[in-house]
Amino acid sequence: MSSISFDLSGKIDRETVAALSALKNIADSLKIPFFIVGATARDFLLKHCYGVDPPRMTRDIDLAVKVADWKQFGKLTEALKDTRKFTADRREQQRFRYDNVLIDIVPFGPISDRNGKISWPPEHEIFMKMTGFQEAYQCSVTVRLHSDPELDVKIPTLPGLALRSC
């Protein structure tokens, strides 16, 4: 059992919990660690952990998955599509839909080049700077989104969010 920093059970909407639960089951089966990043992580921390209303609530979920290469990332995305619950976006390869929940999934970790960037296949013309993701993941906290069944996920700390905003 992991150490829970915050228990958000009952505070997160059912659709989000269902989407994250399904995704976590697949990622865990493939031994792919991930954490929630971006505005969703900010909203969870500020609103539900510290009682501070964020400037705007977001409706999509940003996830960062730690993978070795594009082959491992592809295994995850194919497993998501195989469930027929996740639909891939035809225009944005990082975007998936689970019912009414939009999820953007970006890879970090060993997949990044020596400058901390990734380039999306197949053309490798779209680049993303992944600097700070590894550090934010290492210092992330575990939050419980649902208690029965248990759904525990990682989110960055407030300094981890700030690191990614630089």
Q: Where do the structural domains in the chain lie, given as residue ranges?
A: 6-165
Residue 102's Cβ-count burial label (10 Å; 0-12, 13-18, 19+) is middle
Range scoring the smallest mean pLDDT among 45-49, 91-95, 162-166 = 162-166
Residue-wise pLDDT for 36-83, tens only, equals 999 999 999 988 888 888 777 677 999 999 999 999 999 999 999 999
pLDDT at 59: 77
Beta bridge partners of 151: 146
> Domain 6-165 carries which CATH code?
3.30.460
Residue 2's pLDDT band (cuts 50, 70, 90): low
pLDDT band for 165, please (50, 70, 90 cuts). Answer: low
What does the buried/exposed string (b/e) look like for 35-44 if buried means 16 or more CB atoms within 10 Å of the residue's CB?
bbbbbbbbbb
CB 16 within 8 A of CB 36: no
- Is the pLDDT at 166 greater than 70, yes or no? no
Give tens-digit pLDDT for 105-157: 999 999 999 999 999 998 888 899 998 999 999 999 999 999 999 999 999 99
